[in-house]
Amino acid sequence: MDTFVITIARELGSGGSRIGRMLSQRLGYSFYDREILQMAADESGIDAGVFTRSDEQMTRFNLFRAVRMANDGQFVPSPPDQEDRVSDENLFRYQARVIRQIAKDENCVIVGRCADYILRGQPNVFNVFVHAPLDHRIASIMEAQGVDEVEAERRIRRTDRRRAEYYRFFTGLDWQDAKHYDLCLNTGKVPFETGVQMIEACMKLRFGL
């Protein structure tokens, strides 16, 4: 039986993770976000903290090197290298292997982790980018994290920059480029529940469900 996968990339404060969880509950799909880091750790035997630190600490030198390798197609198809188990590239390969396996085994919603790129070319994958105007996201972070406007904006810009660099690190592509996605959803204009309904409707129309 075919499985269906919805990937969600999101700007901080746009509600992408919340929408992903709501969507998974509505469809009865499994939900994966940072759980993938722990799954990759369990499979590889590497401490989960190592995956988290790699996720958060990209260097510009490695960024340049990784973009070149990504453009040569060396990343996702490659199995983990046992001789350099904790390199950024190898940790990504472990995560990619987990993502490909869960996409093969079950219907699921996957948030972040370059899942749209890792699953590129596979049938039954629907890619979504969730975004919102900066002022809307600042208000959201202020409420959710209990910080003032200046700190909320700082966190948004820092996190979005890190996500963009992570995506470019492993794909050589622009994280915010609409061409990578089947649907771009502006939560500054539609409530979360409406957004969930829109994703479900577009996905079902796309696959004739």
All domains of the chain in start order, with CATH: 5-198 (3.40.50.300)
For residue 31, the model assigns a pLDDT of 97
For residue 58, the model assigns a pLDDT of 52
Q: Are strands 5-10 and 108-111 parallel, antiparallel or unpaired?
A: parallel
The parts of the chain modelled with pLDDT lower than 50 are 59-83
Residue range 183-202, pLDDT digits in tens: 999 999 999 999 999 999 99
b or e along 60-83 (b: 16 or more beta carbons within 10 Å of the residue's beta carbon)? eebbeebbeebeeeebbeeebeee
Compute CA distances 27 → 9, 11, 124, 200, 205, whole Å.
19, 23, 15, 8, 15
The model's pTM: 0.83
Task: Indicate the DSSP class of residue 180.
Answer: G
Compute and round to an integer the Cα radius of gyration of the chain: 17
